[in-house]
Amino acid sequence: MVKRKSLLNPDDLDEIKERILSVNEGSERKWGKMTAAQMLRHCDRILQVGCGKVILPKTPFFVKKAGVIAKIEMKIFNNGIPRNMPTFKEVVINENCNLEKARHELLSSLDEFVKNCEKNNVVLDHVLFGQMTKYDWGFLQYKHLDHHLKQFGL
């Protein structure tokens, strides 16, 4: 059985942090439109969703059901996130970002997210993925960060 990585596992968290520290202005994207700095800022915003600092709009019933099924599928098959998936406008980053500032903010949000998980202080109902536990958050946030770091070859 393939091990499912999670931000709640200290080794997996360290691995993600090292990869974040490896992002630089020369990191070339393999797909998508974001710059490396915009990607870091986007990942920061997604972490803030789990902490309740960024609120996403409600989704139609059928969209949420598809999201719940996608969450279950990712947990069963440990598959990744497909490239070029649409996202909520609240987490789209179009403005130019300072890479070092975006990295610092992402690492701070990452630490805050893990602390919130340890205290069971995370959003319990995601507008797309439905009911969430801290373990769901740790797994899905790892998947999201891994997806975008791979986008830049890391």
Determine, yes or no, domain membership for 15. Answer: yes
Determine, yes or no, domain membership for 29. Answer: no
Per-residue pLDDT band for 128 (boundaries 50, 70, 90) equals very high
Determine, yes or no, domain membership for 5. Answer: no
Q: List, for residues 18-69, the tens digit of each pLDDT value.
A: 999 999 999 999 999 999 999 999 999 999 999 999 999 999 999 999 999 9
Determine, yes or no, domain membership for 28. Answer: no
State the Cα–Cα distance between residues 109 and 107, nearest whole angstrom.
Answer: 5
CA distances from 118 to 14, 104, 121 (A): 16, 21, 8
Number of domains within the chain: 1
Per-residue pLDDT band for 1 (boundaries 50, 70, 90) equals low
Element (H, E) at 17: helix 10-22
Determine, yes or no, domain membership for 1. Answer: no
Are the CB atoms for 17 and 110 separated by under 8 Å?
yes
Provide the domain limits for residue 118.
Answer: 10-23+35-151
Cut 0.85: pTM above it:
yes
Determine, yes or no, domain membership for 127. Answer: yes
What is the pLDDT, as a whole number, of residue 2?
63
What is the pLDDT, as a whole number, of residue 79?
86
Determine, yes or no, domain membership for 4. Answer: no
Determine, yes or no, domain membership for 92. Answer: yes
